[in-house]
């Protein structure tokens, strides 16, 4: 390999605090740096080492009605099969250069399967999950275990497990996927294998409960045959019924004077690995929030990024300089250190409790492992 004839290093001498006086000798020094592919710290420090995270990503909202309408059109036009693998459509952050990244670390997509369709089996190092905001009828088959997907269910699927999806119903179904694709792309850790083009007849079964749920789905109870911690959760679905009751009980306990919420009127749960209490995936944290009607959450800044999907109710979300009205299915991204606050507003329908339910995923496990996790709740005295 020979050095490039045109150097990718380009240095401009400018006057300024901490900068050297611009002279012909300085210009000559900078041309020397460029030729030898050298970059001095003093011209870059403000961008490389800012006082706090300045995310390249931007807060953004994607409306569910639009996602679903476009996914439905793709359902009629785009086949699912080997090669493309999935009819998944990614949320592209407006300031990440058109890459299919919701944030610098996280992939978020809507996936769509027509009745009777199969998405072929494969495995990859990327950690993944599915979350269902509406509908039912698809079974995800992980290592041969058929796992039903229904509204409110959360299905983690750690890297390197074989998986396929099968729509056994007579209607199309959509759900969302979250993966650490951008993170693994940037750190260049990915491996990918194609599996069988078609799963077996037996794996097309539609059991009400997966094998993983029968083994691991009892709170506080582990099967003695399989005790020992695993990096990804062996429980492959977290059913809505349990999530809903856990959130409802937190708000009731608070009302009874026993606490249990993260702040007044704000219940929150984390999906955890039953073998060790850690996050369900090595790189992705997943949580669920219920904000009682009329409650406004305190603005919080966190290192790392998160993506939310509104599960139920309506409200107003503020992320940094952005603010949106949100309703069921809407998805938004919160870049690193951008303050997030949420107000729960009545959705207009009398039947609902008026609470705002949100599913959240973020990259906190990565930041925690690297000792880079920080969070700060803004109060009236903080500079804006």
Which spans of this chain sit near ligand GTQ (rule: CB under 6 A)?
Answer: 85-86, 88, 109, 111, 124, 128, 163, 177, 179
Provide, rounded to whole angstroms, the least separation between the CB of residue 297 and ligand GTQ: 29
Which is closer to ligand GTQ, CB of 111 or CB of 275?
111
Q: How far is CA 12 from the centre of its chain?
A: 39
Which is closer to ligand GTQ, CB of 210 or CB of 261?
210
Secondary structure of the chain in HEC code, one letter for each residue:
CCCCCCCCCCCCCCCCCCCCCCCHHHHHHHHHHHHCCCCCHHHCHHHHCCCCCCCCCCCEEECHHHHHHHHHHHHHHCCCCCCCCCCEEECCCCCCCCCCCCCCCCEEEEEEECCCCEEEEEEECCCEEEECCCCEEEEEEECCEEEEEECCCEEEECCCCCEEEEECCCCCEEEEEEECHHHHHHHCCCCEEECCCCCCCHHHCCCCCCHHHHHHCCCCCCCHHHCCCCCCCCCCCECHHHHHHHHHHHHHHHHCCCCCCCECCEEEEECECCCCCCECCCCCEEEEEEECCCCECCCEEECCCEEEEEEECEEEEEECCEEEEECCCCEEEECCCCCEEEEEECCCCCCCCCCEEEEEEECHHHHHHCCCCCEEECCCCCCC
Provide, rounded to whole angstroms, the least separation between the CB of residue 155 and ligand GTQ: 10
Provide, rounded to whole angstroms, the least separation between the CB of residue 128 and ligand GTQ: 6
Q: How far is CA 246 from the centre of its chain?
A: 22
Provide, rounded to whole angstroms, the least separation between the CB of residue 139 and ligand GTQ: 13
Provide, rounded to whole angstroms, the least separation between the CB of residue 90 and ligand GTQ: 7
Which is closer to ligand GTQ, CB of 61 or CB of 109?
109
Which is closer to ligand GTQ, CB of 123 or CB of 266?
123
Provide, rounded to whole angstroms, the least separation between the CB of residue 326 and ligand GTQ: 22
Which is closer to ligand GTQ, CB of 118 or CB of 177?
177
Provide, rounded to whole angstroms, the least separation between the CB of residue 163 and ligand GTQ: 6
Provide, rounded to whole angstroms, the least separation between the CB of residue 164 and ligand GTQ: 8
């Amino acid at each position: 390999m020979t050095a490039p004839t045109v150097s990718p290093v380009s240095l401009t001498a400018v006057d300024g605090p901490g900068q050297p006086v611009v002279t012909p000798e300085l210009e000559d020094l900078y041309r020397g740096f460029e030729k030898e592919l050298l970059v001095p710290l003093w011209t870059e420090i403000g961008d490389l080492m800012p006082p706090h995270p300045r995310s390249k990503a931007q807060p953004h909202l994607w409306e569910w009605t639009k996602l679903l309408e476009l996914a439905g059109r793709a359902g009629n036009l785009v086949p699912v099969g080997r090669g493309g693998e999935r009819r998944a459509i990614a949320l592209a952050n407006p300031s990440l250069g058109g890459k299919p990244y919701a944030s610098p670390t996280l992939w978020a997509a809507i996936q769509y399967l027509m009745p009777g369709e199969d998405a072929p089996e494969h495995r990859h190092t990327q950690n993944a999950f599915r979350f269902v905001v509406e509908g039912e009828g698809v079974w995800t088959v992980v290592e041969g275990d058929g796992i039903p997907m229904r509204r409110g269910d959360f299905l983690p699927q750690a890297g390197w497990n074989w998986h396929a999806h099968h729509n056994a119903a007579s209607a199309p179904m959509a759900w969302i996927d979250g993966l650490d694709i951008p993170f693994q792309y940037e750190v260049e850790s990915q491996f990918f294998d194609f599996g069988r083009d078609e799963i077996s007849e037996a794996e097309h079964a539609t059991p009400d409960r997966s094998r993983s749920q029968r083994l691991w789905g009892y709170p506080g109870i582990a099967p003695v045959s399989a005790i020992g911690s695993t990096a990804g959760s062996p429980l492959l679905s977290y059913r809505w019924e349990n999530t809903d009751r856990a959130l409802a009980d937190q708000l009731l306990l608070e009302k009874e004077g026993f606490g249990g919420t993260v702040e007044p009127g704000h219940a929150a749960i984390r999906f955890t690995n039953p073998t060790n209490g850690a996050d369900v995936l090595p790189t992705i944290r997943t949580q669920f929030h219920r904000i009682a009607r009329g409650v406004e959450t305190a603005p919080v800044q966190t290192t790392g990024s998160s993506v939310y999907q509104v599960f139920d109710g309506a409200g107003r979300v503020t992320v940094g300089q952005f603010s949106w009205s949100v309703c069921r299915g809407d998805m938004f991204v919160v870049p690193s250190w951008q303050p997030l606050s949420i107000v729960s507003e009545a959705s207009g329908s009398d039947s609902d409790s008026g609470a705002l339910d949100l599913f959240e995923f973020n990259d906190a496990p990565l930041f925690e492992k690297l000792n880079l996790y920080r969070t700060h709740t803004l109060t009236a005295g903080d500079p804006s």
